[in-house]
């Protein structure tokens, strides 16, 4: 069946005006000012008057098989459910391991990616984990990236954190170089997703790698760049050269420590960080631990959810005065471009029909993934 969205305020994510969008199969077939539904063809018409039609959101840092474990076996987080995605307006996720690269495997992440795809959504993943060297499927990260379609890079690799394996600059450089070449061979991003910890001068290892090699800043996507005030201050400068990822789900759990994501976006833009360098991710199903700074003891544990991205996009618009077309880019076109996700991140003819329809209060009215209605 063809599906026609009529009279939608369309964001591609840039504002395109009121448009009609025709969907067939899993793709967007046409975008026009007016499309009259043919009488002799089976077609469903969806009236979108007063609604904003935007690309389905991309959450590119999700512990899809569950994260956590820092507080022992009882602190393991559950895996991602499809309902978490539909309730959040998310149609694409990128899965990863985190602290626990021992009892959770890259193989299990791969099978969860396949499960998400089989249920109609889109998913990719990173190989590896916090540790360097990290776990792989084939025994070699280059082979993982090159040969396994779903794997687009390495991560989440921890630096500047007491939970990291304290990799040397030489080890990080080698890992990054291998990821880059594997990405080139496999037609992938070959990017390294970096977990940024609470240490002072947290970007120093990345600056040293760039200074001492032919690798560039855009070979990394450091995340949790809003976790405290001093990393965020550094991110304002780092983001002018490379990418910065803002974690949405840890706010409001850590209001006294975190920079609120919507306000972080505004400040980054005001400080000259290119919008195309900024992404929002939820860190969903990962643990959000709190440690005593003196003893290192775990004192609290929360879990992130994907719906935090849409919440912070909404508040970037309604509270911080950022235009909707700019706020949308951090979870649509930016991650699609940075991670080279084919057919994703845009409302464009020939692209996958990942479509989110929102009312004026940012309530999800309809959600389509790969041409199939998942909500509404």
Residue, of 194 and 41, whose pLDDT is higher = 194
Same domain, 205 and 267: yes
* pLDDT for the residue numbered 303: 79
Which segment of 30-39, 107-116, 342-351 scores lowest on mean pLDDT? 30-39
Same domain, 153 and 274: yes
Q: CATH number, domain at 247?
A: 3.20.20.140
Q: Looking at residues 132-143, what average pLDDT do you find?
A: 97
Residue from 234, 283, 307, 320 carrying the catalytic annotation: 283
Lowest-confidence segment of 34-48, 174-188, 307-321 by average pLDDT: 34-48
Instruction: Tell me the pLDDT tens digit for each residue of 357-369.
Output: 999 999 999 999 9
Residues 136 and 29 in one domain: no
Residues 182, 289 within the same domain: yes
User: What's the pTM?
Assistant: 0.94
pLDDT in tens, 71-126: 788 778 889 999 999 999 999 999 999 998 899 999 999 999 999 999 999 999 99
pLDDT tens-digit series, residues 260-274: 999 999 999 999 999
Are 188 and 83 within one domain?
yes
Higher pLDDT, residue 244 or 67: 244
* Domain CATH for 44: 2.30.40.10
Q: Note the pLDDT of residue 252.
A: 78
Instruction: Please indicate, yes or no, whether residues 179 and 230 belong to a single structural domain of this protein.
Output: yes
Task: Report residue 298's pLDDT band, with 50, 70 and 90 as the boundaries.
Answer: low
DSSP state of 338: H
Q: Which residues contact 11 (CB under 8 A, 6 or more apart)?
A: 52, 53, 54, 55, 324, 325, 328, 347
The distance of Cα 327 from the centroid of its chain, to the nearest Å, equals: 14
- The encoded tokens of residue 197 equal 């910890």
Q: Are residues 78 and 195 in the same domain?
A: yes
pLDDT at 38: 81
Banded model confidence at residue 292, pLDDT cuts 50, 70, 90: low
Contacting residues for 160 by C-beta, under 8 A, at least 6 apart: 196, 197, 198, 199, 201, 202, 203, 204, 205
Residue-level pLDDT at 291: 62
- Mean pLDDT within 216-228: 97
Percent of the chain scored above 90 by pLDDT? 84
Residues 331 and 363 in one domain: no
State residue 104's pLDDT score: 93
Active site residue 40: no
Q: Which two tokens stand for residue 151?
A: 């794997």
Neighbours of 9 (CB within 10 A): 20
Are both 166 and 293 inside the same structural domain? yes
Distance from C-alpha of 254 to C-alpha of 287, rounded to nearest angstrom: 13
For residues 151 and 136, give the distance between their C-alpha atoms in angstroms, rounded to a whole number.
11
Judged against a pLDDT cut of 70, whether residue 289 lies above it is answered with no
Give residues with Cβ within 8 angstroms of 119, minimum separation 6: 82
Checking if the pLDDT of 294 tops 80, the result is no
**118 shares its domain with 83:** yes
- State the residue for tokens 């895996």: 79
Give the count of domains, the chain: 2
- pLDDT-derived band of residue 290, with 50, 70 and 90 as boundaries? low
Q: Residue 198: which residues within 8 A CB-CB, separation 6 or more?
A: 160, 161, 162, 227, 228, 231
Angle at the Cα of 11 from the Cα atoms of 5 and 12, rounded to 5 degrees: 95
**Residues 363, 227 within the same domain:** no
- At 57 the pLDDT is 98
For residue 306, what pLDDT is reported?
A: 94
Q: What's the pLDDT tens digit per position in 144-194?
A: 999 999 999 999 999 998 888 899 999 999 999 999 999 999 999 999 999
Q: For residue 335, is pLDDT > 80?
A: yes
Mean pLDDT of the chain: 94
Are 45 and 61 within one domain?
A: no
Range of the domain at 358: 2-54+345-375
- Report the pLDDT averaged over residues 122-140: 97
Asked if the model's pLDDT at residue 299 lies above 70, the reply is no
């Amino acid at each position: 069946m063809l599906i026609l969205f009529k009279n939608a305020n369309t964001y591609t994510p840039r504002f395109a005006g009121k448009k009609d969008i025709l969907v067939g199969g899993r793709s967007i077939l046409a975008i026009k000012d007016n499309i009259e539904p043919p009488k002799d063809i089976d077609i469903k018409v969806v009236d979108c008057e007063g609604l904003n039609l935007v690309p389905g959101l991309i959450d590119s840092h999700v512990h899809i098989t569950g994260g956590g474990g820092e507080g022992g076996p009882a602190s393991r987080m559950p895996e991602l459910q499809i309902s978490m995605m539909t309730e959040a307006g998310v149609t694409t996720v990128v899965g990863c391991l985190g602290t626990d690269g021992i009892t959770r495997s890259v193989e299990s992440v791969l099978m969860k990616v396949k499960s998400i795809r089989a249920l109609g959504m889109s998913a990719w993943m990173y190989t590896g984990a916090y540790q360097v060297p990290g776990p792989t499927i084939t025994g070699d990260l280059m082979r993982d990236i090159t040969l396994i379609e779903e794997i687009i890079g390495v991560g989440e690799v921890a630096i500047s954190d007491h939970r990291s394996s304290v990799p040397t600059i030489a080890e990080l450089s080698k890992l990054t170089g291998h990821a880059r070449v594997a990405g080139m061979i496999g037609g992938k991003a070959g990017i390294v997703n970096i977990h940024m910890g609470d240490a002072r001068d947290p970007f120093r290892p990345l600056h040293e790698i760039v200074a001492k090699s032919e690798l560039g800043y855009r070979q990394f996507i450091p995340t949790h760049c809003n976790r405290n005030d001093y990393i965020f201050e550094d991110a304002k400068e780092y983001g002018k050269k490379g990418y910065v990822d803002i974690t949405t789900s840890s706010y409001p759990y850590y209001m006294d420590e975190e920079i609120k994501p919507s306000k972080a976006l505004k400040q980054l833009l005001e400080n000259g960080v290119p919008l195309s360098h900024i992404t929002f991710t939820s860190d969903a199903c990962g643990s959000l631990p709190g440690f005593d700074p003196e003893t290192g003891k775990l004192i609290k544990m929360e879990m992130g959810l994907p719906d935090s991205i849409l919440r912070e996009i909404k508040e970037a618009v309604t509270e911080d005065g950022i235009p909707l077309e700019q706020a949308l880019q951090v979870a649509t076109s930016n991650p699609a471009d940075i991670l080279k996700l084919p057919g994703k991140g845009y409302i464009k003819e020939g692209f996958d029909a990942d479509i989110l329809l929102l009312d004026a209060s940012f309530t999800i009215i309809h959600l389509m993934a790969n041409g199939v209605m998942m909500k509404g």
